[in-house]
Structure 1
Amino acid sequence: MSIPGNVGVLGGGRMGAGIAHAFLIKGATVVVVERDDDAAAGARARVAGAVAKSAERGTLHGPVGEALARFSTSTDYSSFAGCGLVVEAVPEDFELKATALKAVEEQLAAGAFLASNTSSLSVSKLAGQLQRPSDFIGLHFFNPVPASTLIEVVLATETSPELAAAAKGWTEALGKTAVVVNDAPGFASSRLGVAIALEAMRMVEEGVASAADIDAAMVLGYKHPTGPLKTTDIVGLDVRLGIAEYLHSTLGERFAPPQILRDMVERGELGRKSGKGFFVWTD
């Protein structure tokens, strides 16, 4: 199955820009809607940079200019009116996402689909805020999107079989692999990934070993491509804290965020995006 010809992305941060890039280099016409002109300009710069890197790596079929001619940014939700699929990629807050999704849905034509890139929130509860819950699904992309080969396809209670099949097809068309899960707190990936990361943080907190050695144990001993603490830095400590708090509230004490995580977020040590987390980042 091919990807939709016209794709919208709500939110042009690191994840939203990555999602836009993924569809753009596979031939879709893509629009990113942001909250204001400055944010839209930032989104355009991120996507343009990613497309240029794809050209350097040989993964872009066609000229950079042709790809960017199919890309636009906007601050108006009505820009989604012609899209066959819109992926929401705003911060991981239920009320924020629910409000945004309802506003997007109002612009979509009959037969268009809506997805959330949530990494842990209930897709079924988000669907419950919508007029057409059968046309809604979770598409959990992974950071960094260009390098990741996985999309977690999360089925809400009312997601139609047609949409479930289409989402698997889109994933394959993007050159990625679909893991299909039913809606549950943290799905499969976040639930397992956060559990390992939280225990790694507790080990640092308790002085068991350094962050580098803990990560090396998982990379060398268990063949993880990246250790849990470096992954946390890449994802963002604030993002991991939000997910952990949600899982703590839904699944119990085993997901209670350790104090070291709370303290680091309070100090602004958010990982790669701030320059420091469990590791120092200079890129």
Structure 2
Amino acid sequence: MIESIGIVGAGTMGNGIAQVCAAAGLPVVMTDISDAALTRGMSVVSNSLERLVNKQKMTDADRQAALARITTSTDTAKFSTCDLVIEAATENEDLKVKILKDLCAKLQPRALLATNTSSISITKLAAATDRPDRFIGLHFFNPVPLMALLELIRGLQTSDDTHAKAEAFSKRIGKVSITAKNSPGFAVNRILCPMINEAIFALQEGIATAEDLDAGMKLGCNHPIGPLALADMIGLDTMLSVMEVFYEGFNDPKYRPAPLLKEMVAAGHLGRKTGQGFYSYGK
């Protein structure tokens, strides 16, 4: 049984995971490299829970109880009693490998270890640990408190017991899980990112304007947001990185990144985070 959670990283994904775990009644230890980062992360959690109270989706007593279940620290040794530790650091393979190697000596032998990566090989990350059979991908979607899906990714050595415990954990925190095997992009991004890339090709070729392409997918396919607006939200640098992983991983030209995507990234037009992508967002 998973009854206590450790989370590496207090950024957007880390604090979102901490919130849903704490709201589900699980004690959480959230770490980051600085107290300032932890303070920012807890502020986001507090504000998010406050909005739920204002919408009458949570009582104030439950909000306070959830916040009380989250402990923060800059010391990963605090994970020593956790049943499951989730690495939710920046999407950088070398950094993740370093974090995972460092974590192993600080965890109890039976603890499960997971990564929130959206593109890096689970099998490869598992090999950096002392427990590849107890290692799994837990791909949460942003914003974590609102998105219902949790994608479970099995590495080559992930055991059936680890997978079963991950499924039970998903239910415990109110998520619906799907399972994918270890392959570039797993299941969701394998479909989503090439679709976005194709929309960029269509824009590049002058098939339609960005506004019309997005309106077509929203109104014709019932998507809540158009692919180009979604690319701006994800970050065009992230999109390019994922497509390069696909292109390299499959050696198939159908996954080649659109030249316009490369141009946008080279220009520093990365989407919402820079104020300019396929749309303008001001400062």
Q: Once the 2 structures are TM-superposed, how far is the Cα of residue 260 of structure 1 from its aligned partner?
A: 2.2
Aligned residue for 1:275?
A: 275
Partner of 2:202: 203
Pairwise CA distance, 1:53? 2.1
Q: What is the rounded CA distance, in whole Å, between the counterparts of 2:17 and 2:3 in structure 1?
A: 15
1:49 aligns with 2:55: no
- Separation in structure 2 between the aligned mates of residue 180 and residue 217 of structure 1, nearest angstrom: 30
Question: In 2, Cα distance between the equivalents of 1:266 and 1:210?
Answer: 21
Tell me: CA distance 1:54–1:8, structure 2 relative to 1, closer, same or farther (3 Å). farther
Mapped contact 1:25–1:60 kept (Cα < 8 A)? no
Secondary structure in 1 matching 2:153: strand
The answer to whether the Cα contact below 8 Å between 1:8 and 1:87 also exists between their aligned partners in 2 is: yes
Q: How does 1:1-283 map to 2 (within 5 A)?
A: 4-60=2-58, 62-252=61-251, 253-281=253-281
Q: CA deviation at 1:221?
A: 1.3
Task: Say if 1:64 and 1:188 are closer, same or farther in 2 by CA, change over 3 A.
Answer: same
Hey, what's the Cα distance between the residues in 1 that align with 2:161 and 2:218? 39
Structure 1: gaps (5+ residues): none
**CA apart distance, 1:212:** 2.0
Instruction: Note the C-alpha offset of 1:233.
Output: 2.0
Using a 3 Å threshold, how does the CA distance of structure 1 residues 192 and 115 change in structure 2: closer, same or farther?
same
Q: CA deviation at 1:64?
A: 2.2
Per-residue deviation, residues 145-190 of structure 1 (Å, max 9, x unmatched): 1221111100111111111111111112222211111111111111
Distance 1:245 1:81, change over 3 A: same
Q: Which amino acid aligns with 2:122?
A: V
Matches of 1:282 and 1:159 in 2, distance apart?
Answer: 45
Q: Secondary structure at the match of 2:5?
A: strand
Alignment partners' CA distance in 2, 1:212 and 1:106: 52
Task: Check the 8 A contact 1:118/1:138 in 2, yes or no.
Answer: yes
Pick closer, same or farther for the CA change 1:76–1:249 going to 2, 3 Å.
same
Task: State the shift of 1:197 in Å.
Answer: 0.5
Per-residue CA deviation, residues 98-155 of structure 1 (Å, 9 max, x unaligned), is 1111112221102111111111111011111111111100001111112211111001
Tell me the secondary structure at the aligned position of residue 137 of structure 1.
strand
Count of residues in correspondence between the two structures: 281
Q: Which amino acid aligns with 1:189?
A: V
Which stretch shifts more, 181-190 or 50-59? 50-59
Please list every run of 5 or more consecutive structure 2 residues that lacks an aligned counterpart in the other structure: none
Paired residue type of 1:275: G
- What letter matches 2:160 in structure 1? P
Q: Any idea what the Cα deviations from partners look like across 1:6-59, whole Å, max 9, x if unmatched? A: 211111111111111111111111122112222222222222222222322334
Of the structure 1 ranges 4-13 and 55-64, higher mean CA displacement relative to structure 2 is found in 55-64
SS at match of 1:81: helix
Cα 1:281–1:177 change in 2 (3 A) is farther
| Mean Cα deviation higher: 213-222 or 145-154 | 213-222
CA RMSD of aligned residues (A): 1.8
Q: Is the 8 A contact 2:19 2:66 kept in 1?
A: no
SS at match of 1:178: strand
Q: What CA deviation, in whole Å up to 9, does each residue of 1:185-211 have, x standing for no partner? A: 111111111110101111122222122
Opposite residue 147 of structure 1, the aligned amino acid is: L
List structure 1 segments (4+ residues) > 6 angstroms apart after TM superposition: none
C-alpha spacing 1:6/1:60, structure 2 compared with 1 (3 Å):
farther
Separation of aligned partners in 2, 1:266 and 1:22: 37
Corresponding residue SS for 2:25 = coil
What secondary structure, in the 3-state scheme, does the structure 2 residue paired with 1:140 have? strand
With the length of structure 2 as denominator, give the TM-score of the two structures: 0.92
**Which moved further from structure 2: 143-152 or 230-239?**
230-239
Task: Measure the CA separation in 1 of the matches of 2:138 and 2:223.
Answer: 23
